[in-house]
Amino acid sequence: MYRRFSCLLALLSLTVAGGALAADAKRIAITIDDLPAASATPMAPAEAGRLNQQLLTALQRHGAKAVGFVNEDRLLVPGHVDDGVALLHAWLDAGMELGNHGFGHLGLWKSSREDVEAGVLKGEVLTRWVTSRRSAPLRYYRPPFTQTGKTEAEREAFEAFLAHHGYAVAPMTVDHDDYLFACVYDRLQAPGEAARRQVVTDEYDTHLRTSLQVFETMSQELFGRQIPQVLLIHANRLNAATLDRTLRTLKERGYAFAPLDEVLLDEAYRSPARASGRFGPSWLARWARAKGVKLSVYGQPDPVGQTAQWHAQLCRQ
């Protein structure tokens, strides 16, 4: 009897410990901007289609349900609009969600609120048609450049406009300068550049690991725990080639993948966030500023290494 009771106690202890581990497990939502594709060099619609299929294959392989944010102006390629619509269907077929990223990728710094609002409505025509036919949600808007307004008044007015049209702003808490690495990668597409492309992808993964450590530090200092995070990357050649590796790195760091709507249920995302101004940092930095909390770090460091040098040579022309 005593031995049986001891076994039951041990089993109960393991169950409780397992529950604690589950409760403390890090979670992250994957969001991908600039559908169908962003590129520093010309890209044909057929390549954009293959690129998206690579992204979707990696997401499905790892059981990650992502939100893809659409720039509809990039779908309006003469003779290929049907291909763009098929691409949106492919995202839904893969179990993903679509969001609005605005027509023309207009940010709330150089553009007026009225022009950005017009871009929201113009940028939902095909996406809303597709999602409505599929009874799929269209509920998130990702601000281009993650700019939410020059002033608090502008931010509040714009967010009221979005809410009126059924949208919520999709925040992000983790990014890692993928635009910089992607520009270099785009300019190294010649067959003889494979070795340099490998350097870019290796340094990209290293920078992801460094950035995760920074954003985890910010989370711990601001909330005393690891909140569920939201990763922002872009639909580009680099991420098509490396998303499988990125998702493996996240798993190695202890992250489980969660849909955006589940992540946003965490109370951290009800924290006030002020207008971004010109630069759109992580929401962790925005929350810290709104709360008046000083952090030891405020975002990922600038990339270093060979890719940064190549960027200065190839992308700043």
CATH number for the domain that contains residue 257: 3.20.20.370
Domain-located, residue 22:
no
Domain-located, residue 64:
yes
Over range 105-124, report the average pLDDT: 98
Q: What percent of the chain has pLDDT over 90?
A: 91
Domain-located, residue 165:
yes
Domain-located, residue 8:
no
- Predicted confidence (pLDDT) per residue in 190-235, tens digit: 999 999 999 999 999 999 999 999 999 999 999 999 999 999 999 9
Domain-located, residue 144:
yes
- Predicted confidence (pLDDT) per residue in 247-285, tens digit: 999 999 999 999 999 999 999 999 999 999 999 999 999
Domain-located, residue 5:
no
Residue type, 251: K
Number of domains making up the chain: 1
Domain-located, residue 199:
yes
Domain-located, residue 206:
yes
Tell me the two tokens of residue 117: 């609002």
Give the domain extent around 291: 27-314
- Predicted confidence (pLDDT) per residue in 55-92, tens digit: 999 999 999 999 999 999 999 999 999 999 999 999 99
